Amino acid sequence: MKNAFDAGVTVARPARAGLLRLPALRIEARTNLIAYLSLLPAFALVAALMWYPLGVALYHSFTEWDGLNSSWVGLQNYRQIVKTGDLRLLLRNNLIFLLSIPGILAISLVVTVLLYEGVAGSRFFRSVYYLPTILSTVVVGFLMKSLFWSQGLVNSLFDTLGLGSGTRDWLGTANTAFMVLILAFYWQTLGQGVLIFLSTLANISTDILDAARLDGAGWSQRLVQIIVPLLRPAILYFSIVNVVWVFVGVFTLVYAVTGGGPAYQTTPMDFMIYLRAFQSDDLGYASALSVILLVIATGVAWAQLRIFDRMETE
Amino acid sequence: MTTTSRATTFAVRTLIFVVLALIAFAAVAPLGYMLVNTVRTSAEYIIDPLGWPEDLTYFDNYRVLYYNFDILRLFFNTLLYIVLAQSVSFVLSVPAAFAFAKTNFPYRRTLYLFMIGSLAIPPITFIVPDYVLFSRLGWVDRPWAIVLLWAATSVPPSVFLLAALMRGLPREVLDASKVDGASYGRMLLGVVLPMSVPGLITVTIFNVTTWWNDLLIPLIFLQSDAHKTVTVAVAGIFGRYNGDFPLLMTGLLMASVPPIVVYVGLQRYIQKGLVIGAVK
Amino acid sequence: MTTKAHSIQSRRRVLRAGAGAAAGLALGLPRIRRAGAADVELTMWQMIFPVTDPNDKSKKPEDFWIHQAIKRFEEANPGTSVKLEDPPGAPETFTKYRTASIAKNGPDIFATWSGHYMLDMKQYLEPLDPYVTTEDRARIFGWEAATEGFKPGEGTTYGIPAGTDGVVCFFTNKELLQKAGVDPEAPLPPTFDEFTALLDQIKASGTTPLVLSNQSFVYHTLNYWTAQVVNGAPGLQELIDGKRNFSDPTTLEVARKWATLSNKDWTIPGTPTMEESQAAQLLFAGKAAMITSGAWFIRDARVALGDKLGMVKIPDFNADVTIKDAGVGGPGTVYVVSNYSEKKDAAIALIKHLVSKEEQEKRATANEGALINVNDVDYTTLYNEPLRLQQQQWVSDPAHVIFWPDNVYPFELITEIIQRAQTAWTGDSSPEEFMKQLDQKRDELLGKS
């Protein structure tokens, strides 16, 4: 990674004839100045709207704050988060999403391999699989909500097929509500996974795969022994993107499908922060939760990068 | 090859086809269901969620969307915010990405790490304090609130992608332009930018997708109907119309048409863009 | 408001005035010459009046009383325009109002729910005592629901009552009841236990007796019976103050029996995720025989069910309760004015217009939504619907009305009750756990204030 990063960087060199007369230091300083000036606007906006607020959140996590007035309460918010069991529940909910990632990874890989066989219609299927991916999460979420509503399509299908005992209020209990949430996630992500893996495979010489096929290796063997190792960077990329999503982006899906219910049992951290901040006017508590989420999210991202680095150097 | 193994191959390939076709059905069926139900009444839907529309010319759901939501306005708003945010985003991220890609200055790695590290910051953590900040400035429910926040959050991924692509620009061209006496700014505009067009398209597609889908920022920062985006308006249908599924599905369809049209038109770019930069 | 926030606010106002002046000069318009006569644009959010008709979606917002009443106001007050917005349903609307109010960016007027829904937003609300005349207090009723501490004359008034919801009861499909051998005109059995026998009887005829929604299953039944066993408002206050626990045997007994209603043979499954109008549609489609609702429900139900529509009170929890043959309801809605509004006088003028005799007569004639709450309009001649008349009579007898307990509970407590009730209803948590969770939340809220 380090090498990839440094590759292609032009070391500052005196280029203009007029500048050649100036001392080398001067030119380097000028180049550096230009670089810093180029970075300044971008950093200014990011710092103003993303970093500075984190400082505000950190400070206010030790206060009781309604947006207008705040008073210092020390660690009370944190103590309350831990004591009421909120933290455990929220972490569990994020963790469930996290644990669903290997599932969609495996499905995407298998479908990729099947598509790679090149049976009739593969190109068409590939485009079709991508359709749910281009829809917004709001659309996907509400669509799933309508399908799994207690009097909706899924239960009607069960009834029509004479499987009345299979009907239930899917979104009314935590287990099945999570099932629907994860199904929505899978439905939307399969196209993305297939696309990433197929494109990566397209860049790999077909000789290896063809050779394996001629050797008579079964496709499960080919999957495990050849394709997975070849796709390792793509798999890592896919995993990172979705792990980040678990901490950064589940809000929309939960908002659309379950609203966090029943009884907060499908409420992830970001959704609870939203509720606490804007439904309960409890911005201090929300800030404390934000700080915890930030630590976890950056920690997970850092760990992933470390793993990524290590696997690259292996 | 023996006949039996050919027969096995055929059987396997048929099986693969069937599996793939089933998955394709699962991918499309909900969309078809959505479409069909836009021309059903709520009563029809409640009585039989599996039924076929009684009257294919029943367009009341579309009428409600037209009368009670200013659809054109919603599309216009969304488009306006996207265009402005992307403009700001380019002005900020192109010079930064180029500096990271092609100049070696002190603390480059550290600064780069800070920029890329921002990708892992969950938006909700800075959006709450930003909301309070903006409310003090009187910037809430103003289009530029959305433009600024979208632009700011797009800078780290844009810098990341553009810097990665700009590293591949041939060094000779850039040097030659310097020898020609072109100023840094002119070089950026005249040489770097034209050469980065595919990358810029990729970044744009990535950003536009993210913004079109964004619920959190517009939901919190926009309050009046006149300023809403399509996604926020659609997300409000269910609560506002108390679980009227046919109406909801009409709204969902409305929100799905532009991405599908754009996808069909720009399929190649989009696929490339999402492979390089699919961060949801 | 802190002084700091205030100074920022006033500086902003100055800046805005400056910008306005500059714009006026640039356009050469005389608009700002007379500040008093300047165009006023009021913003109003409302979540209490119907603006759609589930039986006829092609109806436009302009076809409903509230939009027409506002149009009449605009015609009578040239230069004043009103932007009426219908935000998403509760509780999102409260979230939205709070969010907007932090930025002093909410509406000038908010037509919302009364009691604690309103009081818990009071940091953003304008005290209305100076604007309310003795005449207003005499002709409009429901002031207790709009006043801090529920005591008019003592607490601050933050709202002007916007109507009355009647008394929540069962609306029935008489045809289905008859089919089950139940006399649709007779009162229901007087207690919960006897009532369950009736539910079995209806089920035996092949009809699911009840359909409840994700709000009504708490607001209309659990809250009603809880209020009954604690003897109404004073008892509810004891629950809120921690002088009484939700997990006490009497209230626990209510939770236990209430949860048995979720029995698949009695109630259409899916209550915790069922929206109010979805439940209504199921009743209209003949999939259930009874639903709980209030006066606002009558119009749509009559259109859908015609002569089949019946109305009976909800049974008492047991024979020992003191407030018998009642139901929750009363003045559940108010108009409030945001304290950061810069057009308070115009806002008050609009509210006064909406509650005026003329407009209330038109509202009574429109037969939409909830009931009127003024004593200078003769509803007996204006209502063309016997059930509305009946409802107005029921609600005028305070001995048989329990004011909405959800409006009495603090906002965060009722939010918690709704959330926790979802798992208690499905049996994923026990009634004991449910009640303990409420005690815990209540204690947390007490500790905070």
Q: What is the pLDDT of residue C57?
A: 83
| C302 Cα to chain B: minimum distance (Å) | 15
Nearest to C100 among B223, B241, B247 (CB): B223
> In this predicted structure, what is the pLDDT of residue B120?
86
Chains near C (3 or more Cβ pairs under 8 Å) = A, B
pLDDT, tens digit (0-9, with 9 covering 90-100), for C54-103:
888 888 889 999 999 999 999 999 999 999 988 777 778 899 999 999 88
Chain B, nearest residue to C288 by Cα: B47
Q: Provide the token pair at B137.
A: 């400035």
Chain B contact present for C14, CB below 8 A: no
pTM above 0.90, yes or no: no
Q: Per-10-residue mean pLDDT for chain B, 280 residues long?
A: 70 90 94 94 88 89 86 93 97 94 89 90 93 91 95 94 86 66 78 86 87 93 91 89 90 92 79 51
Confidence (pLDDT) at A2:
38
**In C, residues 72-91, which contact A (CB 8 Å cutoff)?**
91
- What pLDDT is recorded for position C367? 87
Site from A146, A150, A273 to mutate, C interface, most C CB atoms within 10 angstroms: A150
Question: Which positions in chain B touch A143 (Cβ < 8 Å)?
Answer: 30-31, 34, 249, 252
Nearest-CA distance C1 → chain A (Å): 7
Question: Are A146 and B245 inside 8 Å of each other by CB?
Answer: yes
- Residues in chain C within 8 Å Cβ distance of B65: none
Whether residues B68 and C89 touch (CB distance < 8 A) is answered with: no
Please name the member of C91, C270, C412 whose beta carbon is closest to the beta carbon of A150. Answer: C270
B-chain CB neighbours of C88 within 8 Å are: 236, 238-240
CA distance C113 to C110: 9
CB contact under 8 A, B20 and A245: no
Pairing of β C169-173 and β C333-337? unpaired
* Distance between B57 CA and the closest CA of chain A, angstroms: 22
Where b means 16+ CB within 10 Å and e means fewer, A271-287 reads bbbbbbbbbbbbbbbbb
Report pLDDT for A233: 81
User: Which residue of C lies nearest to A264 if distances are taken between CA atoms?
Assistant: C419
Best of A64, A86, A151, A156 to disrupt the C interface (most C CBs within 10 Å) is: A151
pLDDT of residue C20: 41
- Residue C223 is predicted with a pLDDT of 97
At residue A24 the predicted structure's pLDDT band, cuts being 50, 70 and 90, is low
pLDDT in tens, C193-243: 999 999 999 999 999 999 999 999 999 999 999 999 999 999 999 999 999
Q: Is A174 on the interface with C (CB under 8 A)?
A: yes
pLDDT tens string B102-161: 888 899 999 999 998 898 899 999 999 999 999 889 899 999 999 999 999 999 999 998
Contact with chain B for residue C10, Cβ under 8 A: no
Residues in chain C with pLDDT values less than 70? 1-38, 449
- CA nearest A297: which of B157, B149, B124? B124
A114-170 pLDDT per residue, tens? 888 778 888 889 889 988 988 999 999 999 999 999 999 999 999 889 887 888 899
- Interface subset of C 406-425, CB within 8 angstroms of A: 412, 415, 419-420, 422-423, 425
B50: chain A residues, CB-CB within 8 Å? 153, 156-157, 160
Residue B94's alpha-carbon distances to A11, A31, B249, C20, in angstroms, are 19, 17, 40, 37
The pLDDT of residue A218: 67
Q: Is A196 on the interface with B (CB under 8 A)?
A: yes
- How many residue pairs from chains A and C have C-beta atoms closer than 8 A? 77
Residues in chain C with CB shorter than 8 Å from the CB of A266 are none
Residue of B nearest to C48 (CA): B240
User: Chain B partners of C304 at a C-beta cutoff of 8 Å?
Assistant: 43
Query: How many residues would you count in chain A?
Result: 314
**How many angstroms separate the CA atoms of B44 and B103, rounded?**
65
Query: C52–B64: do the CB atoms touch at under 8 Å?
Result: yes
Mark yes or no for CB contact B103/A34 under 8 Å: yes
Is the bond preceding C91 in cis, omega lying within 30 degrees of 0? yes
Q: Cβ of C89 and B240 within 8 Å?
A: yes
pLDDT band with cut points at 50, 70 and 90 for residue A288 = very high
Mark yes or no for CB contact C272/A261 under 8 Å: yes
C-beta neighbour count of B51 within 10 angstroms: 13
Mean pLDDT of A229-242: 85
Q: What is the 3-state secondary structure (H, E, C) of chain C?
A: CCHHHHHHHHHHHHHHHHHHHHHHHHHCCCCCCCHHHCCEEEEEEECCCCCCCCCCCCCCHHHCHHHHHHHHHHHHCCCEEEEEECCCCCCHHHHHHHHHHHCCCCCCEEEEECCHHHHCCHHHECCCHHHCCHHHHHHECCHHHHEHHHCCCCCCECEEEEEECCECEEEEEHHHHHHCCCCCCCCCCCEHHHHHHHHHHHHHCCCEEEECCCCHHHHHHHHHHHHHHCCCHHHHHHHHHCCCCCCCHHHHHHHHHHHHCCCCCCECCCHHHCCHHHHHHHHHCCCEEEEEECHHHHHHHHHHHHHHEEEECCCECCCCCCCCCCCEECCCEEEEEECCCCCHHHHHHHHHHHCCHHHHHHHHHHCCCCECCECCCCHHHHCCCHHHHHHHHHHCCHHHCEECHHHHCCHHHHHHHHHHHHHHHHCCCCHHHHHHHHHHHHHHHHHHC
Calculate how close chain C gets to B126, using CA atoms only, in Å. Answer: 15
Which among C8, C58, C60 has the least Cβ separation from residue B136?
C8
Q: How confident is the model at residue A236 (pLDDT cuts 50, 70, 90)?
A: confident
- Mean pLDDT value of segment A36-47: 95
Question: Do A262 and C412 count as a contact with CB atoms less than 8 A apart?
Answer: no
What pLDDT is attached to residue A67?
A: 77
Please report residues of B whose CB lies closer than 8 A to that of C275.
238, 242-243
B249 contacts in chain A (CB < 8 Å)? 143, 146
Q: Which chains touch A (3 or more CB pairs under 8 A)?
A: B, C
Q: Subunits with at least 3 CB pairs below 8 A relative to chain B?
A: A, C
The single residue listed with the structure tokens 């269910």 is: B238
Interface touch B141/C100, C-beta < 8 Å: yes
Q: Which of residues 183-242 of A touch C (CB under 8 A)?
A: none
Q: What ipTM was estimated for this complex?
A: 0.89
Of A34, A143, A196, the CB nearest to B252: A143
Pick from C89, C106, C284: CB nearest B242: C89
Average predicted confidence (pLDDT) for chain A:
85
